[in-house]
């Protein structure tokens, strides 16, 4: 029954004839490892298709859900990290193998007549690989993807005449957003694969119309003597090379635990993005051609290079009429161009590896990513992954602090310290003790115009009591007897001559009723120049609702009050 079915299918499809033709195809010069890269490219194309289908079963192409779905694949789906890793690293391997296959075809002279169209279709196939890879770059919706896409659409927008229209078309609007993501997703899983497989079919059909190219280092006679059929000689090498390449990719993915997923895309978080390695040469050229001449780096030079590459068959025809070394000249010239592109692409990664600004910024982004993944393990809010941070007031408060406060209240370890009062350990007993002993120290009021507070020079017992009294105003757990002693010491030492405890304030110093409590901090941050606080001596900006929302204020207060757990190492 099965035999009859197979016979029926073969009669209608001619599959056995196709296989017989491929199996018995003679290879001038015999089987060679150099010929294996074409089949390895096909194997990785199949890997990309299968892993892509697997990923699409779990991926959600919306700004609110994309990062969360990739996080689920990476951290919660069984072997999802392996699936995603194989797709990502396999995509890189696919482009590398396609380039090596093209170089092998170049060296063998497979671009020459009558194989001109086969060569051109191979070049177009490589370009489509780059495009389909780049359309997948935005899909994780992490910081790297977001900022790299901003660079990409910015390049499109800087082109003469059609730039703004092209950028709006790619983005689906004035900004990178939900429409941009769905555009890229449609291209990545729909249009580009159709174009890619269509071009592959054309390339294989054109390849089948002509015999395999004779290696240039062999004479036609020698090549004919050494000729072998594709199967089993070349077939064995093709399978072995494809399996070895797959094994290397799988080992790399296993070693690294998949590929990195950064923190959720957030326009408010600084990130120094870089494109994928195959776009690095163009990215570097943009530093040479800036402003209105940028299109030279992004369109003219790549366009000229691609045209020359696709036009090699006809360039060979022109050169062959003038020199017998036309093929050698084209091989050397093309490999020289490839080496130049590699050198250009290496400039930025090498510079980044030792650039303190890049290392610091990206390290901060990595820390945010780790925090986001920690929070996401409990689930991602329906509003989207940006709300993860708001589920943890300390994390959110730290971000608000970095954005709104850090410009003045710089890191306490800065040497020399030039900022406003150091708040590491703020409102803790250690911080208060150091402050009262030397309020004019650089880490306190030393860099401000406030110089009217006297240093406390009394006994340590009284100081400890007054500190306990002030800590009690913040709402912290305190020793009641020590607080009573502190209140008495506060009066005895004349602190009340400047500082009030009525919640209204005077003219000389901040009111200390409820000092460092949530209510006191909220009022102080909103209007530090109010009579209750620093009045005319104030140097701090107001933070009204338009500048700092109620929720952001609550988060930064939580962050500040958590500083009591930190060590007050300064001054």
Q: In this model, does residue 570 exceed pLDDT 80?
A: no
As given in the structure block, the two tokens for residue 20 are 């017989």
pLDDT value of residue 112: 95
Q: How far apart are CA 31 and CA 227, in angstroms?
A: 8
Return the number of other C-beta atoms located less than 10 Å from residue 531's C-beta: 14
- Is the bond into 232 cis (omega within 30 degrees of 0)? yes
Q: List Cβ<8 Å contacts ≥24 apart for 410-414.
A: 412/443, 412/569, 412/570, 413/569, 413/570
pLDDT in tens, 354-398: 999 999 998 999 998 998 999 999 889 888 998 887 778 888 898
pLDDT value of residue 8: 72
Instruction: Taking each helix axis as running N to C, give the angle between helix 178-186 and helix 163-171, from 0 to 180 degrees, rounded to the nearest 10.
Output: 90
As given in the structure block, the two tokens for residue 116 are 């001109």
CA 555 centroid distance within chain: 27
Instruction: Taking each helix axis as running N to C, give the angle between helix 116-135 and helix 80-108, from 0 to 180 degrees, rounded to the nearest 10.
Output: 160
As given in the structure block, the two tokens for residue 564 are 């009591």
Pairwise pLDDT comparison (9 vs 257), residue with the higher score: 257
Is 75 exposed, middle or buried (CB count within 10 Å of its CB: 0-12, 13-18, 19+)? Answer: middle
Lowest mean pLDDT among 82-86, 286-290, 314-318, 503-507: 503-507
Across the range 249-253, mean pLDDT stands at: 98
Q: Which residue has the tokens 């290696």?
A: 215
Q: How far apart are CA 446 and CA 419, in angstroms?
A: 9
What whole-number percentage of the chain has pLDDT above 70? 96
pLDDT in tens, 516-553: 999 999 999 999 999 999 988 899 999 999 999 999 99
pLDDT value of residue 19: 63
Report domain extents, the chain.
Answer: 32-265, 276-353, 394-565
Q: In this model, does residue 92 exceed pLDDT 80?
A: yes
Q: Which residue has the tokens 């009641």?
A: 480
Q: In this model, does residue 286 exceed pLDDT 70?
A: yes
Return the number of other C-beta atoms located less than 10 Å from residue 252's C-beta: 15
Q: Which residue has the tokens 């971000």?
A: 399
Q: In this model, does residue 508 exceed pLDDT 90?
A: no
Based on its alpha-carbon atoms, the radius of gyration of the chain, rounded to whole angstroms, reads 34
pLDDT value of residue 18: 63
pLDDT value of residue 16: 64
CA 518 centroid distance within chain: 37
Provide the b/e sequence for 382-391 (b: ≥16 CB within 10 Å).
eebbbebbbe
pLDDT value of residue 522: 96
Q: In this model, does residue 14 exceed pLDDT 70?
A: no
As given in the structure block, the two tokens for residue 17 are 């004839």
**Mean pLDDT estimate for the chain:** 91
Predicted model pTM: 0.78
Instruction: Taking each helix axis as running N to C, give the angle between helix 393-404 and helix 550-561, from 0 to 180 degrees, rounded to the nearest 10.
Output: 100
Lowest mean pLDDT among 1-5, 51-55, 315-319: 1-5
Quick one: the chain helix, strand, coil %, rounded to 5? 65, 0, 35
Q: How far apart are CA 567 and CA 556, in angstroms?
A: 19
pLDDT in tens, 160-177: 888 888 889 889 988 899
CATH superfamily of 32-265: Cytochrome Bc1 Complex; Chain C (1.20.810.10)
Check if the beta carbon of residue 520 is closer than 8 Å to that of residue 484: no
């Amino acid at each position: 029954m099965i035999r009859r079915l197979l016979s029926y299918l073969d009669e209608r499809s001619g599959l056995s004839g196709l296989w017989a033709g491929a199996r018995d195809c003679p290879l001038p010069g015999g089987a060679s490892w150099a010929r294996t890269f074409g089949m390895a490219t096909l194997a990785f194309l199949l890997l990309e298709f299968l892993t892509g289908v697997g990923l699409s079963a779990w991926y959600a192409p919306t700004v609110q859900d994309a990062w969360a779905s990739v996080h689920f694949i990476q951290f919660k789906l069984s072997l999802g990290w392996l699936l995603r890793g194989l797709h990502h690293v396999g995509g890189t391997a696919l482009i590398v193998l396609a380039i090596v296959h093209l170089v092998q075809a170049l060296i063998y002279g497979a671009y020459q007549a009558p194989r001109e169209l086969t060569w051109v279709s191979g070049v177009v196939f490589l370009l489509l690989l780059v495009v389909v890879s780049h359309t997948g770059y935005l899909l994780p919706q992490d910081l790297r993807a977001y900022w790299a896409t901003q660079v990409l659409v910015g390049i499109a927008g800087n082109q003469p005449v059609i730039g703004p229209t092209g950028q709006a078309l790619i983005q689906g609007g004035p900004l990178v957003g939900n429409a941009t993501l769905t555009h890229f997703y449609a291209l990545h899983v729909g249009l580009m694969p159709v174009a890619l497989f269509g071009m592959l079919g054309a390339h294989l059909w054109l390849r089948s119309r002509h015999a395999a190219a004779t290696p240039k280092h062999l004479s036609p006679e020698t090549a004919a003597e050494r000729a072998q059929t594709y199967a089993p000689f070349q077939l064995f090498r093709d399978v072995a090379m494809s399996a070895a390449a797959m094994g290397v990719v799988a080992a790399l993915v296993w070693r690294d635990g998949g590929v990195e997923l950064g923190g959720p895309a957030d326009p408010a978080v600084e990130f120094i993005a870089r494109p994928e390695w195959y776009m690095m040469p163009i990215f570097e050229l943009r530093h040479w051609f800036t402003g209105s001449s940028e299109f030279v780096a992004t369109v003219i030079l790549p366009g000229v290079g691609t045209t020359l590459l696709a036009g090699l068959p006809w360039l060979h025809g022109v050169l062959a009429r003038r020199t017998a070394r036309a093929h050698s000249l084209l091989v050397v010239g093309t490999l020289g161009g490839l080496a130049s592109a590699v050198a250009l692409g290496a400039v930025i990664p090498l510079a980044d590896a030792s650039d303190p600004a890049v290392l610091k910024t990206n390290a901060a982004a990595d820390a945010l990513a780790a925090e986001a993944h920690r929070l996401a393990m409990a689930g991602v809010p329906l509003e989207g992954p940006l709300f993860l941070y708001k589920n943890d007031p300390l994390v959110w408060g730290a971000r608000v602090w970095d954005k709104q406060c850090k410009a003045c209240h710089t890191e306490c370890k800065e040497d020399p310290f030039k900022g406003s009062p150091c708040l590491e350990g703020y409102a803790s007993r250690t911080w208060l003790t150091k402050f009262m002993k030397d309020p004019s120290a650089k880490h306190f009021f030393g860099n401000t115009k406030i110089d009217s507070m006297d240093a406390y020079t009394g006994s340590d017992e009284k100081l400890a009591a007054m500190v306990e009294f002030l800590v009690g105003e913040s709402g912290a757990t305190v020793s009641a007897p020590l607080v009573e002693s502190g209140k008495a010491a506060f009066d005895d030492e004349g602190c009340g001559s400047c500082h009030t405890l009525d919640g209204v304030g005077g003219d000389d110093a901040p009111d200390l009723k409820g000092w460092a409590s949530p209510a006191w901090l909220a009022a102080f941050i909103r209007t530090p120049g109010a009579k209750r606080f620093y009045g005319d001596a104030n140097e701090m900006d107001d933070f009204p609702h338009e500048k700092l929302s109620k929720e952001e204020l609550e988060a930064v207060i939580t962050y500040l009050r958590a500083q009591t757990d930190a060590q007050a190492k300064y001054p």
